[in-house]
Structure 1
Amino acid sequence: MKYIFVTGGVVSSLGKGLAAASLGTLLEHRGLKVVLQKLDPYLNVDPGTMNPFQHGEVYVLADGAETDLDLGHYERFTNCVLTRENNVTSGQVYETVLANERRGDYLGKTVQVIPHITDEIKRRIRALGENSGADILITEIGGTTGDIEGLPFLEAIRQFQLEAGHGNVLVMHVTLVPYIKAAGELKTKPTQQSVAKLREIGLQPQVLICRTENPLDLDVRQKLSLYCNVPVEAVIEAGDVEHTIYESPLNLQAEGLDDYVCRILNLNTPEPDMSDWKKFVQRVVNPKKSVRIAVVGKYIELQDAYKSIYESLTHAAAANDCAADLVLVDAEDLENEGAEKYLQGVAGVLVPGGFGDRGTEGKIAAARFARESRTPFLGLCLGMQIATIEFARNVCGLDHANSTEFDPQTPHPVIHILEEQRDVTTKGASMRLGTCPTIFSKNSLAHQVYGRPEANERHRHRYEFNMAYREQMEKKGFVISGTSPDGTLVELIEIKNHPWFLACQFHPEFQSKPNGSHPLFKGFIAACLAHQD
């Protein structure tokens, strides 16, 4: 078993997750089985209760684990199917150690960061490596070198390196090499200081991934090599990608990253065949046409809040040999100024998930615009609930119809809390989470789009369609095209006599890949192209 640890220095948001995922792509294309893991130093047990403005998207795994958005990169860039073992937070580690102490597992010893916390971190790394059956485990450490909360993880890696043995562990440090415009040169000192901090802890990186806006010339590479104690060939330039993040593996391959990693870890593998990946990138970079899609959300100003949705639209557009020209619309603007001002002329409308009542009336206005103008519509999770509320109010005449999440006193609760959620009082990891099967109605748009009678999709919600309104709404053209196997929960809805109107209670964006676009997104983009033409 080989282990690669990815650390970050100087500043946050350098793209450690993307670097780890890109290396995973290259190693997989060499025929190796790769698994990825994220160690996050924050004390939350998981990001499930964190505000998107604080943390970005919560990515849901097949087993229902609510995780960091970097795990989305891992699953999109590789063939990994991840579980809760793949995302470890300080909160989980401390929770386990304290539970062990309460049980008396430490036989009365004083419980300390070293060895008890570091031992638990190492145990989780080792367990994933053993259980995965992979050739290589790539572990990303969240945060920035020097953060107090990250020190136990770095110390655990120092110890792990000794235990795993020479030639089995590689440390890859992602760092910033800034360009100072006034001086007209790249500065290596921040990277030198960051590596010095790592070495104080006892970690010597074997590879530097240098995030830079300007190319690294030989002098800069030699200087980084000398002061950071790495070979020149291990100083890897990682400039900003020109068009798409999916260029990153190709750029790192051109720098020789995978060759060097395989050599250091004594891995004898063939050169990677990246032809399929290159074809996908070419479709993204040189599309034959483009299609305008409006995304109406409540966290629009934060790019990471809808990360998987944007990537799924990119995959689907490439599958249709076009580009997705996204029009990002704040739902609250629709409440104040009307939908037509922002949505007139778009080829499709997408309403993503979310929590709380802020912006919901704007999303309802977006669903009404799509229904009445016969514009293709895709609703995800809350987007399905929004479409249901809109139809109930404006087609069925159910005045003030709403979800009990937004209005507990609504006279028409067409969306209500799931039965098993009624007595839930805790917030963390208590929703309907993870993979559940959906059965499609014959001759439905959903069945046509998927091309099969059922699918397994990932969920994250507490509220659901109220079956008491089924008959009344179906008489008006509301179509329930997907349900749970027992028929009690609504998973997909459509509208009769509309060119393409589909909304789902689950999150299809968590299962889309570059060369494996999700059927719902692929079908939505195709419908948008037809509408635009």
Structure 2
Amino acid sequence: MARYVFITGGVVSSLGKGLASAALGALLQARGFTVRLRKLDPYLNVDPGTMSPFEHGEVFVTDDGAETDLDLGHYERFTGVPARKTDSISSGRIYTNVLEKERRGDYLGKTIQVIPHVTNEIKDFLRTGEDEVDFMLCEIGGTVGDIEALPFFEAIRQFIQEQPRGECILMHLTLLPYLTASGELKTKPTQHSVKELQSIGLAPDVLVCRSEQQIPEKEREKIALFCNVRRDAVIPAYDLKTIYGAPLAYHQAGLDQAVLDAFGINPAPRPNLTRWEDVMDRLTHANEGEVRIAIIGKYTQLEDAYKSIAEALTHGGMANRVKVKIEWLDSEVFETEDPSPMLEGLHAILVPGGFGERGTEGKIRAAQWAREKKIPYLGICLGMQMAVIEAARNLAGIADAGSEEFDHEAGGRRFTPIVYHLKEWVQGNHLVERKVGDDKGGTMRLGAYDAVLSEGSKVAEVYGTTRIEERHRHRYEVDLTYREALEEKGLLFSGMSPDGKLPEIVEHQGHPWFIGVQFHPELKSKPFAPHPLFASFVKAAVEVSRLV
């Protein structure tokens, strides 16, 4: 049976609970333990799949097709453990499950209440797969005191009481603000945050204190005294130059030891931190120079909207021992301005996914510029579709080439739909069917699917195989009706679904590096195992930088 670590936050949001959870998972792995990380989100959306990227950042997709919080991306990148549907839950999903059971009569006519029905549903979620790993790390979104999070805290309180003694601990993240005028770190917000926890029947075993300043020993002792935790369990957490320094920094601060001490695991296995020492060596010794890569999208005002892509580019730089400098460019700007002045001097272009027509003409122009200037181009999801439309317009002579998605938004046909709404596909052993009018949430082609790569193609060379599995999140596909006309002009359909019906990858023959993929390779990249597409893409950018 797994031991449970519940990670909560106080004082303010965005303290880095997800990063702390991921780093702790990595440190427990380094000591030989198996881990699984989970996220409990208090918002009432069933999942973040229908949220705007400006509202919630990117949507992270699992192999089994769950649309989840971006923190699950941190979990995977730091531990290498593939996340599952059972690793993410929201209040919306909890209440949906409870109400569905009530409608079916599962509660035998009882009055449905937060306690025990909602809290029981949360506890059932926590227990899923508890026999599979040594440690289950469960992060609760938001901060203690948030009214919408109260059912989760109550469920945790009950859960801890029901588990065998010593099998659960609570790790609480707080902020130690620094007052410049007085030159003091203030511990009172942390004290009040812990008091809030205690008022609902919970008490932290480990305190992680974020601070921009060094925490003096006397302040750690004061926190330990007033918050009723061991002094060695007050862990400082300082700002880092890179998130990948977190495992080593938290280890040096004593986080993993404090957690194991709280569980009474003594003597604790010695950690093997070679993996993270190598990661930091590659980041801090990028001796091969710097490359400038543009991300041209419609959500560039919020970098979290493309979090996994930015991290995957960093991983590609680590694979080549170069520093990747990302230039964030709004694709809408290219619709009214010549892209050349903004793109000259860049070493590669990446066009990411997205939904809706806004900014797409700018993405098409970016793809055209990369093709004509022989600059490395990686198109992901919508970025692939825009590259195909560009080739159809400017190479195959289909001047009004566009997407059915844009026609649907406009309420009438304006384009020749090179890209069409996906109406059916094979998932496992059954046929999935969709209509344009279906609900938006959870109706896309989601999760891991196989693809077959053409022998001798660029992507087959990059992957080193002709059979791959990648994660998808989209509802529109390139129409194979135009395949022959496009391939005659040099746009090779180099990756297909196993049944040959759905295009997965295109590449321009005769171009040094121009690849579009229908899936999201960034979701599977890790600092200690960079995705081959991103490693190759950055390598191509390095070659361009040496020619400039």
Give TM class, smaller chain.
over 0.9
SS in 1 for 2:86: helix
Supply the AA of the counterpart residue of 1:262. Answer: L
Task: Write out per-residue CA displacement over residues 113-171 of structure 1, whole angstroms, 9 at most, x where no aligned residue.
Answer: 111111110111012323xx100000000011110000000011111111113211110
Structural mapping, 1:104-123, within 5 Å: 104-123=105-124
Structural mapping, 1:354-393, within 5 Å: 354-393=354-393
1:299 and 1:340 map into 2 onto residues whose CA distance is 21
Which segment drifts farther, 498-507 or 411-420? 411-420
2:153 and 2:492 map into 1 onto residues whose CA distance is 54
The question of 1:395 aligning with 2:395 is answered yes
Are the counterparts in 1 of residues 293 and 350 from structure 2 also a CA contact under 8 Å?
A: yes
SS in 2 for 1:425: coil
The question of 1:419 aligning with 2:423 is answered yes
What's the CA shift for 1:179? 0.8
Q: Give the superposed CA RMSD.
A: 1.0
What's the CA shift for 1:424? 4.9
2:416 and 2:100 map into 1 onto residues whose CA distance is 46
From 233, 247, 259, the equivalent of 1:261 is 259
2:452 and 2:164 map into 1 onto residues whose CA distance is 50
2:197 and 2:62 map into 1 onto residues whose CA distance is 32
Supply the AA of the counterpart residue of 1:265. Answer: F
2:110 and 2:435 map into 1 onto residues whose CA distance is 42
Task: Write out per-residue CA displacement over residues 255-295 of structure 1, whole angstroms, 9 at most, x where no aligned residue.
Answer: 11111111211335421111221111121122111111111
The question of 1:303 aligning with 2:303 is answered yes
SS in 2 for 1:128: coil
2:149 and 2:293 map into 1 onto residues whose CA distance is 40
1:291 and 1:226 map into 2 onto residues whose CA distance is 50
Which segment drifts farther, 452-461 or 255-264? 255-264
TM-score (norm 2): 0.95
Task: Write out per-residue CA displacement over residues 440-488 of structure 1, whole angstroms, 9 at most, x where no aligned residue.
Answer: 0011001000000110000000111111111111111111000001111
Supply the AA of the counterpart residue of 1:475. Answer: E
Are the counterparts in 2 of residues 86 and 128 from structure 1 also a CA contact under 8 Å?
A: no
1:15 and 1:266 map into 2 onto residues whose CA distance is 26
1:463 and 1:196 map into 2 onto residues whose CA distance is 51
Which segment drifts farther, 46-55 or 258-267? 258-267
Sequence identity, in percent?
52
- Are residues 263 and 349 of structure 1, via their aligned partners in 2, closer, same or farther at CA, if it must alter by over 3 Å? same
1:487 and 1:194 map into 2 onto residues whose CA distance is 57
TM-score (norm 1): 0.98
Supply the AA of the counterpart residue of 2:215. Answer: L
What's the CA shift for 1:531? 1.3
| Aligned position for 2:49 | 48
1:30 and 1:312 map into 2 onto residues whose CA distance is 26
From 441, 444, 452, the equivalent of 2:465 is 452
Are the counterparts in 1 of residues 80 and 526 from structure 2 also a CA contact under 8 Å?
A: no
SS in 2 for 1:443: coil
Are the counterparts in 1 of residues 298 and 332 from structure 2 also a CA contact under 8 Å?
A: yes
- Are residues 121 and 344 of structure 1, via their aligned partners in 2, closer, same or farther at CA, if it must alter by over 3 Å? same
Supply the AA of the counterpart residue of 2:338. Answer: G
The question of 1:496 aligning with 2:501 is answered no
Structural mapping, 1:127-138, within 5 Å: 127-130=128-131, 133-138=132-137
SS in 1 for 2:128: helix
Which segment drifts farther, 63-72 or 174-183? 174-183
1:173 and 1:334 map into 2 onto residues whose CA distance is 46
2:166 and 2:231 map into 1 onto residues whose CA distance is 19
Which segment drifts farther, 226-235 or 369-378? 226-235
Supply the AA of the counterpart residue of 2:418. Answer: V
What's the CA shift for 1:252? 0.5
| Aligned position for 1:345 | 345
Supply the AA of the counterpart residue of 1:343. Answer: L
From 486, 490, 494, the equivalent of 1:481 is 494
Supply the AA of the counterpart residue of 2:522. Answer: E
Which segment drifts farther, 413-422 or 473-482? 413-422
| Aligned position for 1:275 | 274
Structural mapping, 1:15-414, within 5 Å: 15-130=16-131, 133-241=132-240, 243-267=241-265, 268-288=267-287, 289-408=289-408, 409-414=413-418
Structure 2 alignment gaps of length 5 or more: 425-433
SS in 2 for 1:210: strand
Are the counterparts in 2 of residues 424 and 430 from structure 1 also a CA contact under 8 Å?
A: no
Supply the AA of the counterpart residue of 2:94. Answer: V
Task: Write out per-residue CA displacement over residues 408-457 of structure 1, whole angstroms, 9 at most, x where no aligned residue.
Answer: 41342111111223355111100001000010001100100000011000
Structure 1 alignment gaps of length 5 or more: none
Supply the AA of the counterpart residue of 2:398. Answer: L
1:527 and 1:67 map into 2 onto residues whose CA distance is 32
Task: Write out per-residue CA displacement over residues 498-533 of structure 1, whole angstroms, 9 at most, x where no aligned residue.
Answer: 000001000001100111110110110011111111
Which segment drifts farther, 382-391 or 393-402? 393-402
Which segment drifts farther, 422-431 or 165-174? 422-431
1:259 and 1:198 map into 2 onto residues whose CA distance is 23
Equivalent residues, number: 530
The question of 1:465 aligning with 2:478 is answered yes
| Aligned position for 1:507 | 520
SS in 2 for 1:129: coil
Supply the AA of the counterpart residue of 1:308. Answer: S
The question of 1:524 aligning with 2:524 is answered no
Structural mapping, 1:436-451, within 5 Å: 436-451=449-464
2:59 and 2:129 map into 1 onto residues whose CA distance is 22
1:163 and 1:525 map into 2 onto residues whose CA distance is 51
- Are residues 60 and 386 of structure 1, via their aligned partners in 2, closer, same or farther at CA, if it must alter by over 3 Å? same
What's the CA shift for 1:333? 1.6
Are the counterparts in 2 of residues 438 and 455 from structure 1 also a CA contact under 8 Å?
A: yes
SS in 1 for 2:89: strand
Are the counterparts in 2 of residues 401 and 410 from structure 1 also a CA contact under 8 Å?
A: no
